[in-house]
Amino acid sequence: MPETIVTNNDLAALMDTTNEWIIERTGIQERRFFTAGKDSVSNMAARAAKIALERAGKTPQDVDAIVFATLTPDYYFPGSGVLLQRELGLSRIPCFDIRSQCGGFIYALSVADQYIKSGMFKTVLVAGSEIQSNVMEISDRGRTMSVIFGDGAGVCVVEAHQEKGKGILSTHLHSDGNFAEELCCKLPSSSLADRGLSADAQQAGDLLPYMNGKLVFQYAVKYFPEVIREALTHNQLTENDLDLLIPHQANARITEYVRKEMNMPAEKVISNIHKYGNTTAASIPIALTEAWQDGKVKEGNLIALAAFGSGFMWGSALIRW
């Protein structure tokens, strides 16, 4: 996580919002913001990757491929995968960039899983990293988005193994482009003559992300339980078999709604959004890492990961740890 902690009161000093409004609507108390010149999407992922590789008893040279999920890449192109590769001192291995927003980590994990199961790769780094504080506006007009989103990175090492019934049991992916504009950042656009970078567009706030909050809420609480149940049914399991649910940290109210809908006790559902806000593609690996560090992830546990977000794109992964 980047070091700078930004509390709700820090934001309230810069825009028309309050600590109470943010906590009531989102459950967020504070988030991290990057430091310009020090943190980048790829170098935060590299720091996370080094910790992950050390914990997995691997070196960067063991990595066969990188799958990098982000909606805030370092550059317009190339993607951040090759930058992470470079940061790790690697060359030649393939790097994939996944543009699936909040669903990014699940999509990335699924890509890694398929390549490993096909036998093409043995060890894959799956990264989620975001610097969102720099693409929002800390102002009255930017307040709907900027109180929700934060910066951070998380990386998992995914490895081939021979133990039947362990590891990633299955992944389930969906999307519906009919809702593309309901949670999006349209500019800069390759389709517009001025790419939307004109002074007028900037002044009008057209480069800022937009979210139809109520609609996103409505679909999130429908698709989260649906896609988790899809994964359970596919594996002939039920929610009673789940030891842990690690949802994308969209909003504490969404997580709470999903928890109740799935009849799960609070201790089985990981929520750390109060500390970090919504870190989009990074939120699941950050939450998984914290749950693991806190001893909540145990050998043999059945763990569901699930996400919903911009696209709309949503998905789940079922893991026997």
- Chain contacts with ligand ACO (rule: CB under 6 A): 17, 21, 25-26, 102, 143-144, 147-148, 183, 213-214, 216-217, 220, 250-251, 253-254, 278, 308-309
Q: How far is the CB of 42 from ligand ACO (least distance, A)?
A: 22
Q: How far is the CB of 7 from ligand ACO (least distance, A)?
A: 14
Q: How far is the CB of 136 from ligand ACO (least distance, A)?
A: 11
Look up 134 and say whether it is catalytic: no
Instruction: Give the pair of three-digit tokens for residue 103.
Output: 């669903």
User: Of residues 8, 185, 248, 272, which has the active-site annotation?
Assistant: 248
Instruction: Give the pair of three-digit tokens for residue 107.
Output: 């999509």
Which is nearer to ligand ACO, 23 or 302 (by Cβ)? 23
DSSP secondary structure letters along 44-83: HHHHHHHHHHHHTT--GGG--EEEEE-SS-SSSSS-HHHH
- Pairing between β-strand 30-33 and β-strand 4-7 as defined by DSSP bridges: antiparallel
Which is nearer to ligand ACO, 143 or 320 (by Cβ)? 143
Q: How far is the CB of 300 from ligand ACO (least distance, A)?
A: 30
Look up 248 and say whether it is catalytic: yes
User: Of residues 95, 102, 156, 185, which has the active-site annotation?
Assistant: 102
Look up 185 and say whether it is catalytic: no
Closest-approach residue to ligand ACO (CB) = 213
Count CB-CB contacts under 10 A for residue 160. 15
Cβ contact 116:122 at 8 Å: yes
Which is nearer to ligand ACO, 309 or 315 (by Cβ)? 309
Secondary structure E strands in the chain: 4-7, 30-33, 65-69, 95-98, 123-130, 152-159, 167-175, 183-184, 210-211, 244-247, 302-309, 313-320
Residues with catalytic function: 102, 248, 278
